[in-house]
Structure 1
Amino acid sequence: MNKASDIEQPLLNATQYFSDQTRWQSWLDVEATLALSQAEMGMIPQEAGMEIALHSNLNSVNVEKLRLKINQTMAPVFALSECLADVCGKSGAYVHWGATTQNIVETGRLLVLKQVQRHIFQNLSQVILQLSTLAEQHAGLVMVGRTNRQNALPITFGFKIAGWIDELIRLADQLKEVEPRLFQLRFGGAIGGYHSLGADGVRLSELMAARLGLHLSLVPNRTSVDPLIEYITKLSMIGVASARISDELFLLMTEEIAEVSEIFDENVVGSSTMPHKVNPKYVVDLGAMSMQLRAKAGAALAVPSPSHEADAVTNRLLTQLIAETCPMAINVLEKLYKTIAAIAPNRSKMQENFLKSREMMATEGVMMRLAETVGRSHAHDIMHGLVDKAKRDNVSLYEIIMQNEEIVAALGAETLNKMLCTDGNIGQCEAIALQAAAAGREVANKIII
Structure 2
Amino acid sequence: MGALYDSKTKTMFDHGVRYFFTDEAKYRSWIYVEVILAQSQAELGYIPDKAAKEITKKAKYENLDFKQMEHIYERVGHGFVPFVKVLADTCGEAGKYIHYGVTTQNIQQTSELLIIREVDKRFMMVISEILDNLAKLAASNSNTVMPGRTHGKHAVPITFGFKVAGWIQNFLNDINRLQELESRVFNSMMGGAVGAYNSMGEYGPKINRLVAKKLDMKPMPIPLRNISAQKIEYMNALCLLATSCDRIAQEVYATSIEEYGEVSEPFFHGTIGSSTMPHKINPKLSKGIIANAQKLYSVPVSAYYSSTRPFEADSSSNMLFDGLLNESLELVTEVLLRTEELTRGLQVHKTKMDQNAHINDGLDNSEYVMMKVAQKLGKDQAHSMIYKLAMEAEQSDEGYEDVLLSNEYLRNTFSKEELECMLKPEKYTGLSSEIAIEFSKKAKIESDELKKRYKKRLEF
Determine if the TM-score, normalized by the shorter chain, exceeds 0.5. Answer: yes
- Shift of the 199–280 alpha-carbon distance from structure 1 to 2, 3 Å rule, reads closer
1:160 matched to 2:163? The reply is yes
Give the counterpart letter for 1:131 in structure 2. L
Do the aligned residues in 2 keep the contact of 1:286 with 1:339 (CA within 8 Å)?
A: no
Deviations 1:82-137 (A, max 9, x none): 21221222212221111111111111112111111111111111111111111111
Residue 304 (structure 1) shift: 4.4
Q: How many angstroms does 1:396 deviate by?
A: 1.2
In 1, Cα distance between equivalents of 2:33 and 2:120: 19
SS in 1 for 2:146: strand
Note the alpha carbon deviations across 1:355-400, whole angstroms, 9 max, x for none.
2224101110110110111111111111111112222231011012
Query: Which AA in structure 2 matches 1:57?
Result: K
Q: Percent identity among equivalent residues? A: 31
Aligned to 1:361: 364
Partner of 1:132: 135
Cα distance in 2, alignment partners of residues 305 and 391 from structure 1: 57
Alpha-carbon offset, residue 238 of structure 1:
2.5
Partners in 2 of 1:95 and 1:422 — Cα distance? 71
- How far the C-alpha of 1:265 sits from its partner, in A, is 3.0
Bigger relative contact order (CA 8 A; separation at least 6): 2
Q: Is contact 1:236–1:295 with CA below 8 Å preserved after alignment?
A: no
Name the CA distance, whole Å, in 2 between partners of 1:294 and 1:172: 19
Structure 1 residues 272 and 86, CA, compared in 2 at 3 Å: closer, same or farther?
A: closer
* Partner-residue secondary structure (3-state), 1:83: helix
Query: Cα RMSD (Å) of the superposition?
Result: 1.8
Kindly provide the CA deviation profile for residues 150-183 of structure 1, in whole angstroms up to 9, marking residues without a partner as x.
1111111111111111111111111111111101
Which one of the candidate residues 265, 268, 288 is aligned to 1:262? 265
Structure 2 runs not aligned, ≥5 long: 1-13, 454-460
C-alpha separation between the residues in 2 aligned to 1:312 and 1:445? 42
Using the alignment, how far apart are the partners of 2:21 and 2:425 within structure 1? 57
2:429 aligned residue: 426
Match of 1:78 in 2: 81
Are residue 396 (structure 1) and residue 399 (structure 2) matched?
yes
Aligned to 1:439: 442
Write the letter of the residue equivalent to 2:146: M
What secondary structure does 2:74 align onto? helix
Distance 1:242 1:272 in 2: 29
Q: Which runs of structure 2 are paired with 1:405-424 in the superposition (5 Å)? A: 405-421=408-424, 423-424=426-427
Equivalent residues in 2 for 1:199-348, closer than 5 Å = 199-348=202-351
Tell me: CA distance 1:175–1:351, structure 2 relative to 1, closer, same or farther (3 Å).
Answer: same
1:146 is paired with a residue whose SS is strand
Distance in 2 of aligned mates of 1:110 and 1:85: 23
Give the distance between the partners of 1:422 and 1:66, measured in 2 at CA. Answer: 70
Q: Distance in 1 between matches of 2:171 and 2:59?
A: 39
Indicate conservation of the 8 Å contact 2:365/2:425, yes or no: no
User: Any unmatched runs of 5+ in structure 1?
Assistant: 1-10
- Are 1:14 and 1:331, in contact at CA under 8 Å, matched by a contact in 2? no
TM superposition score normalised by structure 1 = 0.93
- Shift in Å, 1:76: 3.4
Q: Determine the structure 2 residue equivalent to 1:195.
A: 198
Task: Give the letter aligned to residue 392 of structure 1.
Answer: Q
Q: Aligned to 1:152, what secondary structure does the other structure show? A: strand
What is the SS of the residue equivalent to 2:260? coil
The worse-fitting range, judged by mean Cα deviation, of 293-302 and 79-88 is: 293-302
Letter in 1 for 2:437: L
- The range that moved more, 280-289 or 182-191, is 280-289
C-alpha separation in 1, matches of 2:41 and 2:301 = 41
Contact kept, 8 Å, 1:77 with 1:104, in 2: the verdict is: no
Cα offset, 1:411, TM superposition: 4.0
- Residue 95 (1) aligns with residue 98 (2): yes
Q: Is the 8 A contact 2:357 2:425 kept in 1?
A: no
List, as ranges, runs of 4+ consecutive aligned residues in structure 1 with deviation greater than 4 Å: none
